[in-house]
Structure 1
Amino acid sequence: MTGREDQAGGEWRGAEGARIAEYLLQDEIGRGEMSVVYRAEDLRLGRTVAVKLLAPELARNDTFRQRLVHESRVAAALDHPHIVPVFEVGETEGMLYIAMRYVQGRDLATLLARDGPLSLEIACRIALQVASALDAAHAHDLVHRDVKPGNILIAEGTDNDRPEHAYLTDFGLTTKSLSLTDLTGVGQFVGTLEYAAPEQISGRPVDGRCDVYSLACVVFEMLTGAPPFRREDDMALLWAHQYDPPPVLTELRPDLPPAVDPVFARALAKTPDDRYETCQGFVAALRAAGRTGQPPPPKPSAVPRSRPPRQADTTPDGSAESTPPGPPFDDDDEW
């Protein structure tokens, strides 16, 4: 890294004008606890990109570095209109960086801080785009595990029917469900407490339903201005996600139909098996409840995909009787 630099408290300050690999940093456009994002010029291709610099202590963590490179490669292979493309992940002079598409817009956290709670129509419109990105990732066994307003970018849309275009970012900082044990280590927490699913907190295996829970927390915040669980300290917040029932949405938004309450109750269920199977299934149920005012049907009991032959299924003459097929598998969670 060349140019003015001052490492203090795990942050780089005064990096505007510095060069990271083949990127010339310009102005700062975002900051988190463990990273800073700059608009930058790609000196090789002459294009504007976003470069995320990760805290120096992360670069010294071999497990994190391995996971970052692995997941960024998987995420880069996801060609989806609502996922921010990753161009490069690298390390230079002890600094980890991620170069990605520059999105002209603001993150959802900034939008909510400026505009306050959104209408159900707008919240569902944004959530459906994020949900489609998450479901596409889940199809590749990639679980985001850190779905939050700060990781959702809102750009200008293309037409009146979709005035916003939502992008999901930070897939490079996620964990692949099939390699969770190998790449994160025992007891290491990945996620943001306000949006973390109970199984994340307890260290149990996760799959796409973990992101269903987090997305429900985000949509709850879009509608009320705050995530469902708020406590004075982290331990109380961890406890609430695992054991406290979620608040009733319509007690905070009485203008919405009561039919939306069971949708959130299911999406925020403590046990993954009790949630929607897909993120789009959750958003579709929420939108339908808002439009019709009718609560969704309860989740049916699981139907076994196979069963042993029934010994008593014979005709009076002793010949085998074919067993009629059972009811079709439930797919009400699909969009």
Structure 2
Amino acid sequence: MLSPGDRFEGYVVDAVVGRGGTATVYRAHEIRPPERTVALKMLTDRPPRPDDSARLDREFALGRRLAHPHIAAVIAHGPGWLAMEFLAGGPITNLPVRSDRLAAVAQIADALDYLHGQGVVHCDVKPANMLLRASFVDDGAALADFGSARELGEVAPPRTTRVTASLPYSAPELLLGRPVGAATDEYALVCSAVELLTGAPPFTAATTMGLTAAQLASPTPRLSRHIAWLPHAFDSIVAKALAKQPEARYSTCAEPIALITRLLRP
């Protein structure tokens, strides 16, 4: 663990901004010009576990391939650590207005469609990985955390093998360890959009087993029956985006978000 004021690999630590199961994220700044503020992600275990190191290496390698205004930039990398763009606005849930949340999700959808054009699937799209820059009006939102990303068509490890905060957004093919594609991220994006609009993702359950079963087999809930301000057409858009078979979903991430935005426009 590092403390504020500690120096590490050309950075000075300012504060801890997040802790996960395998890593701690610090706000830090470069010692030398351009003296950028960065998010410094460090693996907790010393020495790092091989799987965690491989995940971080993959996150850096994929990040260096990408250049999009709504994807968080990676800056530097070393054994057990990664420096990336610091997104000072925090998570997308900091936006209090529904229309702004939808605008931010639309930016993430554009980033995902770009990502898929580069042959990459994020595989961990969720509100916690949608972050805001210091001025949302000027600079918007950005997609972060590519540690779970895979190549299009690659098989990701079945998500049911461990408890994960990503389960409410996990498409059936990801849960079953089948090849992932653009539709995998679309599923997660629309689950996230539903949560950002209504306060909860489409599928919920008290246990991991119950939530997994719901994602795999339960029909998409008709939310307009319980939320008065949602039009019935919202249910149809969400149901198509969350089809159990990837080929039945929309062809891009931008399409369902654009439809939802038009539908809910005042």
* 2:45 is the alignment partner of 1:56: yes
Q: Percent identity?
A: 36
1:69 alignment partner, SS class: helix
Task: With the length of structure 1 as denominator, give the TM-score of the two structures.
Answer: 0.71
Deviations 1:225-250 (A, max 9, x none): 11111111111111111011122121
Structure 2 length as normaliser, TM-score?
A: 0.88
Q: Structure 1 102/67 Cα, relative in aligned 2: closer, same or farther at 3 Å?
A: closer
1:239 aligned residue (208, 213, 217): 213
Distance 1:152 1:214 in 2: 12
Is 2:154 the counterpart of 1:175?
no
Q: Distance in 2 between matches of 1:29 and 1:179?
A: 32
CA–CA distance in 2 between the matches of 1:106 and 1:290?
25
For the pair shown, which has the larger CA radius of gyration, 1 or 2?
1
Structure 2 Cα separation of the partners of residues 186 and 251 of structure 1: 31
Tell me which residue corresponds to 1:157. 136
Shift of residue 70, structure 1, vs aligned partner? 3.2
Cα distance between partner residues in 2 of 1:123 and 1:221? 11
Task: Work out the CA distance in 2 between the residues paired with 1:58 and 1:226.
Answer: 38
Structure 2 residue aligned with 1:134: 112
Give the alignment partner of residue 230 of structure 1, picking from 197, 200, 204: 204
Q: Do the aligned partners of 2:158 and 2:174 also contact (CA within 8 Å) in 1?
A: no
CA distance in 2: counterparts of 1:177 and 1:67, whole angstroms? 17
How far the C-alpha of 1:64 sits from its partner, in A, is 4.2
Per-residue CA shift, 1:41-94, capped at 9, x if unaligned?
212332221111223279212x44334323422222211110110011211xxx
Q: Cα deviation per residue 1:111-140 (whole Å; 9 max; x = unaligned)?
A: 27xx5xx53x33321111000111111111
Does residue 1:106 correspond to 2:94, yes or no?
Answer: no
Contact 2:158 2:176 in 1 (8 A): no
Q: SS at 1:89's partner residue?
A: strand
Could you tell me whether the CA contact under 8 Å between 1:40 and 1:49 is conserved in 2?
Answer: yes
Alignment CA distance shift 1:291-1:52 (3 Å): same
Change (3 A) 1:192 1:90: same
Which one has the bigger helix percentage?
2
Aligned residues: 263
Superposed, 1:59-74 pairs within 5 Å as 59-61=48-50, 63-74=51-62
CA distance in 2, matches of 1:79, 1:126: 18
Distance 2:159 2:189 in 1: 25
Shift of 1:273: 0.9
**Amino acid in structure 1 at the alignment position of 2:232:** P
Task: Say which SS state the counterpart of residue 202 (structure 2) adopts.
Answer: coil
Give structure 1 stretches of 5+ with no counterpart: 1-11, 293-335
Q: Secondary structure at the match of 2:191?
A: helix
Any idea what SS the aligned residue of 1:259 has? helix
- Mean alpha-carbon deviation: is it higher for 138-147 or for 68-77? 68-77
Structure 2: how far apart are the matches of 1:67 and 1:50? 17
For 2:171 and 2:117, the matched residues in 1 are separated by 20
| Correspondence for 1:125 | 103
2:191 counterpart of 1:217: yes
Question: Is residue 2:77 matched to residue 1:89?
Answer: yes
Quote the Cα distance in structure 2 between the aligned partners of 1:185 and 1:202.
5
With over 3 angstroms needed to count, the CA separation of the structure-2 counterparts of 1:28 and 1:64, relative to structure 1, is closer
**Partner residue in 2 for 1:324:** none
- Distance in 1 (CA, whole Å) between partners of 2:47 and 2:110 is 30
Secondary structure in 2 aligned to 1:37? strand
The residue type equivalent to 1:31 in the other structure is R
Q: What is the DSSP-based 3-state SS (H/G/I as helix, E as strand, rest coil) of the residue aligned with 1:56?
A: coil
* Runs of 4+ with deviation above 6 angstroms: 185-191
Give the gaps of 5 or more residues in structure 2: none
Q: Which amino acid aligns with 2:175?
A: I
**Which residues of 2 match residues 250-261 of structure 1 at below 5 A?**
250-261=224-235
Asked if the contact 2:56/2:82 (under 8 Å) is kept, the reply is: no
- RMSD across aligned positions (CA): 2.6
